[in-house]
Structure 1
């Protein structure tokens, strides 16, 4: 039995034992079926300890527990510093950070800092395992623009199961560029982690993250782990940081009255200027920051519309927004936002091509933890062409920021023109990216690129690259001892 098939079998048996095997029948809950009885949970901010050395130290504990998600039931779940999901980490550009991540789970896991630009040894991919009872202490200096990032497990062959059980949290980066946007966390700056789950009749998690084409497409939508949620808004404008934390589902987000709103940021930072839209789409791992205006005493529902991608079926209610009878004034939306320079493609930039094959290979190769697929010189900007000849995929690259050049030969929507790290790759389409690599060099510790539909990632649709000193690319070994890392 191959390593991948063995890990898949273990994952299947583990989920069946931990979550139950009976699935509640039915399609995703359609528009009009939610009562919006539960106040939206706002994940708490994780407070760091700051020593005399100025380092900000955050503590995370991965643990199991039980959570009341559906009325009258209790669900076995996993979380950080609690039974389900994790606290929001917030830090500023220039901060020196150290994490202490302790694993109290019954199996090995990892924690990946999705969207972070940091050394490969600190990335938290499959080569940085945390054994049960162990503590991992990555550290780095935060040096990137303001953005909405997140953290989640990334164990080889087990990511889908660990995320589905509840291991995910938001990581907000601030910087010293003064932009007049709503910024009071939980008041007018509200995190929204979108996830879909399937529950058995007794309230346990059901469904199989490693079955069928896409794995989990659940029939209950949770926002910040809250089912049937509403949120109270007390200001004229509110900023929503929306993270697609689902295993596979795509969300086409609109307001029920189709009001316009403004996108101010996506994966890797703020846009140069607000973009007015009435709909945004997010595949797993993608983030978007929006600002919407409200009137006193109104109610409006945030929804996801059904699409044709195969991972976005069903019109779904997500969250009801209820405004106060009197709203606190908000500053006008600024005309300019980030000073970030668009990623330009230099003359003669290297072009790398990646073909997504089925659900388990890139360029006809399954993931091999001992194989280095690509070697990149530090500081390079390259063109990556992602060709998808089958059903829906997306593509995430660790460490980098990229700009979407075109999707099937056409420019991306205006709200997706900023810096990103994850992109939707539609069926039968090629997406071209201008990829900007960092300057942390390490010829032995790789970063990942992969489909962020977690069923596909775990099945082998993932590759590895290292960043090295320019001019040394041909001196790097294309194999690494797995025992050294895993």
Structure 2
């Protein structure tokens, strides 16, 4: 509270200076100094990391694994000046981890217990558009939406979150999110640490800003990327520590923040193994000491521990491809201590990491039938804002396409595509860095750079129901930095998206 009282004093002083000669410069200098966040070595990791429970499920008479989710209001004391009003699934904040095997048919009953429409998007999941949970599948207050589909993709750390048109940032910021883990018998998944909550840990990282009353402070930063918080929550825990009892621990990192990009590493710069990206396991572990995750991104890393040590997972300053000014006001220069790992004095032996993890078949770009350009600037893609009634691309089922993504302004953006996992072919004509290896559904863009991706649009066609592509900085998405595409059968034309906002499909 003391820090926030001083903030109020400084704001008042800045306003006084603004009213005087030269006050604008003084206010600008104050804003410059306040924009940088550095919590290195300042966090008292006093709270045991909460582990989201595995969602209960049952198998119905059709052989479907059934989950139940309820979006609801809640209250939680984060220790930030008062009891915070929150939203969550089946609880006060965040939601349980859904888990299913490849080949299983699932059914999720989603009840909207809020007083406004919401939706649930299965981020990273390959499924029919009508089950995707985008803005066309809005759920009215009190209604139930029951999407059902067959899980048809490799093992991966996915997540779910709302996607209501124009309000995604608000709904995610208040706490509506959770993980969806897909298991697959193929590959080296069993050789990795795999005991959920023991040596296989979900790590949902979110930054939040609290006002003096302990409520979430929503709004935009001076950098125009949305709210940037100075308090980090991991699985809804402030200042968390994780007790580690094994020689290796697997962290399933999820950037669940609205706007902030993280550059994760360990404070002593030790190398760790990156074993998975957005769409699943890599072909082989990659040794690295940093992994950058933009909003919506995931990565799986395995950290080796020594008995009795304490080390901190930290987000380091990084070059986001912006100018000096924008770097300060969009979080690129921030340092944030995230999670303390506390190793027991006696550690249970862990198996060596396998040399190979999962089968991986590169998509041949020579087979692409179309190359499309997407230029991101301001809050537009290709100079247009989102229109729910407009289809921006029509793609034939079972074809491969190359998409060229270019960011034209100095504000951070990334690019997320629904339904498909893609491969990054190049960045400005050069081979992609290790963080872009494997399967991706979200990619960070740097100013003036062109990222070429390749994807195959298989299995599902629906001329009337679109999938989305958009910037996953959520205020940008809400402001119109989004478009939509349909996948059609060969020779079929696009239809017309639904005109109503609420559609309860899947039952």
TM, length-normalised to structure 2 = 0.88
Report the counterpart of residue 362 of structure 2 in structure 1. 342
Report the counterpart of residue 406 of structure 1 in structure 2. 426
Q: CA deviation at 1:408?
A: 2.2
Q: CA deviation at 1:212?
A: 5.8
Matched, 1:124 2:133: yes
Aligned with 1:85 (options 69, 78, 94): 94
Aligned with 1:67 (options 76, 90, 99): 76
Report the counterpart of residue 408 of structure 2 in structure 1. 389
Aligned residues of 1:254 and 1:302 also touching (Cα < 8 A): yes
CA distance in 2, matches of 1:219, 1:23: 18
Deviation per CA, 1:223-267: give whole Å up to 9, x if none: 111111110000001100000000010000010010000110100
Q: Which moved more, 1:428-437 or 1:104-113?
A: 428-437
Aligned with 1:432 (options 441, 452, 475): 452
Matched, 1:362 2:371: no
Aligned with 2:291 (options 262, 271, 280): 280
CA distance in 1, matches of 2:100, 2:354: 23
Report the counterpart of residue 49 of structure 2 in structure 1. 40
Instruction: Give matches, 1:198-209, under 5 Å.
Output: 198-208=209-219
Matched, 1:163 2:181: no
Q: Which moved more, 1:430-439 or 1:234-243?
A: 430-439
Structure 1 unmatched runs, 5+: 1-21
Deviation per CA, 1:10-66: give whole Å up to 9, x if none: xxxxxxxxxxxx999855352011010011111000010112332110000000010
Report the counterpart of residue 250 of structure 1 in structure 2. 261
Deviation per CA, 1:320-360: give whole Å up to 9, x if none: 000000000111000000112122213453100011121x2
Aligned with 1:322 (options 342, 356, 369): 342
**CA distance change for structure 1 residues 42 and 36 in 2, over 3 Å: closer, same or farther?**
same
Counting matched residue pairs gives: 461
Structure 2 unmatched runs, 5+: 1-7, 12-33, 321-326
CA distance in 2, matches of 1:415, 1:274: 12
Q: Tell me the C-alpha RMSD between the 2 structures.
A: 1.7
**CA distance change for structure 1 residues 23 and 245 in 2, over 3 Å: closer, same or farther?**
farther
Aligned residues of 2:221 and 2:228 also touching (Cα < 8 A): no
CA distance in 2, matches of 1:370, 1:52: 38
Instruction: Give matches, 1:47-196, under 5 Å.
Output: 47-70=56-79, 73-179=82-188, 180-196=191-207
Deviation per CA, 1:126-175: give whole Å up to 9, x if none: 00010000000000010100000000000000000000000010100001
CA distance in 2, matches of 1:156, 1:440: 23
CA distance in 1, matches of 2:319, 2:133: 34
CA distance in 2, matches of 1:348, 1:150: 29
**CA distance change for structure 1 residues 330 and 226 in 2, over 3 Å: closer, same or farther?**
same
Report the counterpart of residue 380 of structure 1 in structure 2. 399
- SS of residue paired to 1:456: helix
Aligned with 2:476 (options 453, 456, 461): 456
Report the counterpart of residue 227 of structure 2 in structure 1. 216
CA distance in 1, matches of 2:210, 2:57: 35
Aligned residues of 1:43 and 1:224 also touching (Cα < 8 A): yes
**CA distance change for structure 1 residues 23 and 412 in 2, over 3 Å: closer, same or farther?**
farther
CA distance in 1, matches of 2:394, 2:221: 30
CA distance in 2, matches of 1:436, 1:212: 35
CA distance in 2, matches of 1:354, 1:88: 34
**CA distance change for structure 1 residues 24 and 350 in 2, over 3 Å: closer, same or farther?**
farther
Report the counterpart of residue 10 of structure 1 in structure 2. none
**Greater CA radius of gyration, 1 or 2?**
2
**CA distance change for structure 1 residues 24 and 200 in 2, over 3 Å: closer, same or farther?**
farther
Q: CA deviation at 1:484?
A: 7.1
